Structure 1
Amino acid sequence: MDRVYYDHAASSPMNPEAAKAMLEVMTGTYGNPSSTHSFGRAVRQLLNRSRDTIAHGIGCTAGELVFTGGGTESDNAALIGAARAARKQGKSHIITSATEHHAVLQSCEALEREGFRVTIVPVDEHGIVNPADVERAIESDTALISIMYVNNETGTIQPIEEIGELARSKSVLLHVDAVQALGVLAIDVRQLPVDLMSFSSHKINGPQGVGALYIRKGTAVEPIQYGGSQERKRRAGTENVAGIVGFAKAFELSVNSLAERKPFLEQLRYTWIERMREIVGAEGIVVNGHPSNYAPHILNMSFIGVGTESMLMNLDLAGIAASGGSACTAGALEPSYVLQAMNFSQERQASAVRFSFGLGNTMEELELAAKKVATFMARVRTNA
């Protein structure tokens, strides 16, 4: 059976060139990058080269980039590290939004248990944070604002520049989870009013278990991991050099191909919407998210009248991988907290599916996938 992968926002297939670069490291070098002998220096050179590649690509210095174990660790390190450092200056208030990734929301919950206060600002029906709400939430002891760049469930792009300028005017740090933005949006931290930014490798066709955190020079962040002086004493532990090399290669390929990939991803997204409307009927399909401010690789749509669980099961049986954008709790597929925060009807929440596109997807494959959906949707309607 031909299989179709439309879940790139969850994890993306590794670029063969990234895998090749990693294999060369794993079979050719084995020194510790902290060692001073020639074996260690050879590995350190690979690490430095990878850091330079990513730093140059996002517009920061090598000293402002910390390698981590992934996007979740980057979010944790940014929020917890910056909050604890700010508390020493008498600041103990944090602002975030209702649709952030759990890596941010649960970090905030952990900080609340340490005595910090957290304000969660709402989003509108398109999933957008209103900067005026953020401004109203800022208090004299606000230390940090954390707003994601691109929502992982809907693809909605947040007004990061406006929120960042607001934060700067109030002397408040801004952290941005850019995990879903990297590789699909041009990022230049020299132009963005951002102090901390999180990235992940496996969303851009690199290996899993590797990420990075941008820390603007002069930003106080306490380490949350101890046991060594690696990463300028900001993240203890021997670096995953092979993974970092793979991340850098995937990053390089992703950034260099952005001009060609972005329009193609947009075409895939637009065509899938049109095909689904033809198959289901325009009244049966609702696109969830902002109508114009969205990342081209993520599409969240509700199949009105067909439950998410049923839709995902039929998609999987047809060989199509997609996501409900939901958490499986105690065996029950629960509605997405992101869609709940957007105040959708229960029917719309309960029929939402996320499709996300990327490396390896083609228009020919999309047409084949659409035919499969047409086949099982006819069956679903017959049995309804």
Structure 2
Amino acid sequence: MSVYLDCNATTPMDSAVQSTILRFMAEEFGNSGSRTHEYGNRAKVAVQKARDQVAEAIGADRNEVIFTSGATESNNLAILGLAPFGERSGRRHIISTEIEHKAVLEPLENLQRLGFDVTLVAPEPGGYVNPDTLRLALRPDTLLVSVMHVNNETGVMQPLDEICSLLVDHPAYLHVDAAQGFGKATAQLRNRRIDLIGLTAHKIYGPKGVGALIARRRGFDRPPLAPLMFGGGQEHGMRPGTLPVPLIVGFGLAAELADKGAGRWHEKCLAYRSQMLRGLASLNPELNGDQGRVLPNTVSLSIPGLDSEAFMLATKGLIAVSNGSACTSQSYQPSHVLIAMGLGRDRVSSTVRLSWCHLTPPTDWDEVVAALKRVL
């Protein structure tokens, strides 16, 4: 069986998280909204504990955690949910970047159709956004600045601390898509200047189908979000519907485990990265992105003379990798991220992404290299 190297798409589930989810499916199956009996009360307590676990991991208050179906919904709620306030206040300018995930770019396209003015800032060649470029784009009517934490294709971290400092005296709301960085490089996300943060569980060894939007207060004021759905009033009226208690409990435990294990996991990922780069060195791989800014669990690379499809076919059965975001890889399109970084079409078409975690087993890189050399 091939070694799974697509952890930026989704991670394996932690065994403790899996056991907890199964218990809440089979035994503790109450509805957290049922207040007339002990089944509902136990479910409510479990959800509150999970809310506290997520809040603790990211440096938020429990009442700032809104559970959702994942980072895509969280990002949509943050971006589209601000639109009515922007229209009322006359602040209809939004700044984001050309390297965002589609879960951010497509909601922004929708707002453009509604008359909002969206500025997409180009990245530096290293795959990160220059804070000075953002500063020059700021206007008095800027409603929102949306910058991802870690790029899902290159693993490059964005300079969130500098961006937070830039916005100290500006009223614009700051939204961060933290799907890739939460649980791996969480320290930046604890900055209280970040108003809105999109999270998901399945990138931190938790279940698919659950995530959260962190909506931090400014003083006593919540971000002025309007809900996208109606009916039931759950999650402060921002996300109605019966809460998926097993998934939420699993997310809470995954967040706690990631918070406690981040340092140890970081070292394991660094060690795997070193072994991988040594193993592939004879192929002279070209690495994409500023390698001083990447997380230790991701490499975006190309092998000269070998396109990505040939790479994946040659290594099938040995390693499982991708050639782009999982959201668009069903019908391959050239990476908008790599194009925005200024890479040529040949380099883009030859790029593959390898992403791993602390659970990834050792890999026979000699065998991988031999398979690739047969098609070069």
TM tier, smaller: over 0.9
How many angstroms does 1:28 deviate by? 1.2
Aligned partners of 2:269 and 2:358 also within 8 Å = no
How many angstroms does 1:29 deviate by? 2.2
TM-aligned CA distance change 1:104 to 1:84, over 3 Å:
same
Q: What corresponds to 1:256 in structure 2?
A: 260
TM-aligned CA distance change 1:332 to 1:47, over 3 Å:
closer
Output the CA distance in 2 between the equivalents of 1:235 and 1:330: 29
Q: What corresponds to 2:3 in structure 1?
A: 4
Greater mean deviation of Cα atoms: 288-297 or 186-195: 186-195
1:152-301 matches, cutoff 5 A = 152-187=152-187, 189-217=189-217, 218=221, 219-278=223-282, 280=283, 282=284, 285-301=285-301
TM-aligned CA distance change 1:148 to 1:189, over 3 Å:
closer
Output the CA distance in 1 between the equivalents of 2:196 and 2:93: 17
Q: What corresponds to 1:378 in structure 2?
A: 373
TM-aligned CA distance change 1:337 to 1:276, over 3 Å:
same
Aligned partners of 2:315 and 2:372 also within 8 Å = no
TM-aligned CA distance change 1:144 to 1:330, over 3 Å:
closer
How many angstroms does 1:330 deviate by? 11
How many angstroms does 1:378 deviate by? 2.5
* Secondary structure in structure 2 of the residue aligned to 1:143: strand
TM-aligned CA distance change 1:329 to 1:187, over 3 Å:
closer
* Secondary structure in structure 1 of the residue aligned to 2:168: helix
Q: What corresponds to 1:40 in structure 2?
A: 40
Q: What corresponds to 2:149 in structure 1?
A: 149
Output the CA distance in 2 between the equivalents of 1:71 and 1:288: 25
How many angstroms does 1:84 deviate by? 2.6
Residue type of the partner of 2:187?
Answer: I
* Secondary structure in structure 1 of the residue aligned to 2:48: helix
Aligned partners of 1:83 and 1:144 also within 8 Å = no
TM-aligned CA distance change 1:270 to 1:198, over 3 Å:
same
Output the CA distance in 1 between the equivalents of 2:212 and 2:45: 18
Q: What corresponds to 2:314 in structure 1?
A: 314
Aligned partners of 1:327 and 1:336 also within 8 Å = no
Residue type of the partner of 1:376?
Answer: A
1:76-87 matches, cutoff 5 A = 76-87=76-87
How many angstroms does 1:361 deviate by? 1.1
Greater mean deviation of Cα atoms: 162-171 or 115-124: 162-171
TM-aligned CA distance change 1:332 to 1:21, over 3 Å:
closer
How many angstroms does 1:192 deviate by? 4.5
Q: What corresponds to 2:13 in structure 1?
A: 14
Aligned partners of 2:75 and 2:177 also within 8 Å = yes
TM-aligned CA distance change 1:63 to 1:297, over 3 Å:
same
Q: What corresponds to 2:66 in structure 1?
A: 66
TM-aligned CA distance change 1:48 to 1:188, over 3 Å:
farther
Output the CA distance in 2 between the equivalents of 1:12 and 1:148: 19
How many angstroms does 1:165 deviate by? 2.0
Aligned partners of 2:31 and 2:40 also within 8 Å = yes
Q: What corresponds to 1:339 in structure 2?
A: 338
* Secondary structure in structure 2 of the residue aligned to 1:380: coil
Output the CA distance in 2 between the equivalents of 1:97 and 1:185: 20
The C-alpha deviation readout for 1:327-350, integer Å capped at 9, x for no partner, is 797986332110000011222111
Q: What corresponds to 1:54 in structure 2?
A: 54
TM-aligned CA distance change 1:274 to 1:224, over 3 Å:
same
Residue type of the partner of 2:248?
Answer: I
Output the CA distance in 2 between the equivalents of 1:99 and 1:61: 30
Output the CA distance in 2 between the equivalents of 1:350 and 1:7: 18
TM-aligned CA distance change 1:328 to 1:164, over 3 Å:
closer
The C-alpha deviation readout for 1:142-175, integer Å capped at 9, x for no partner, is 1000000100000011111111222232211100
* Secondary structure in structure 2 of the residue aligned to 1:144: strand
Q: What corresponds to 2:25 in structure 1?
A: 26
Normalising by the residue count of structure 2, what TM-score does the alignment of the two structures yield? Answer: 0.95
Aligned partners of 1:309 and 1:333 also within 8 Å = no
Aligned partners of 2:318 and 2:368 also within 8 Å = no
Aligned partners of 2:160 and 2:188 also within 8 Å = no
- After superposition, the CA RMSD in angstroms is 1.7
Greater mean deviation of Cα atoms: 67-76 or 34-43: 34-43
Aligned partners of 1:59 and 1:188 also within 8 Å = no
Residue type of the partner of 2:267?
Answer: P
How many angstroms does 1:65 deviate by? 0.6
Greater mean deviation of Cα atoms: 255-264 or 206-215: 255-264
Q: What corresponds to 2:98 in structure 1?
A: 98
Greater mean deviation of Cα atoms: 200-209 or 332-341: 332-341
Normalising by the residue count of structure 1, what TM-score does the alignment of the two structures yield? Answer: 0.93
Q: Report the number of matched residues.
A: 371
Q: What corresponds to 2:121 in structure 1?
A: 121
Output the CA distance in 2 between the equivalents of 1:97 and 1:166: 16
Output the CA distance in 2 between the equivalents of 1:70 and 1:296: 24
Greater mean deviation of Cα atoms: 147-156 or 160-169: 160-169
How many angstroms does 1:268 deviate by? 1.1
Residue type of the partner of 1:286?
Answer: E
Residue type of the partner of 1:200?
Answer: T
Residue type of the partner of 1:169?
Answer: D
Greater mean deviation of Cα atoms: 195-204 or 261-270: 261-270
Output the CA distance in 1 between the equivalents of 2:111 and 2:300: 31
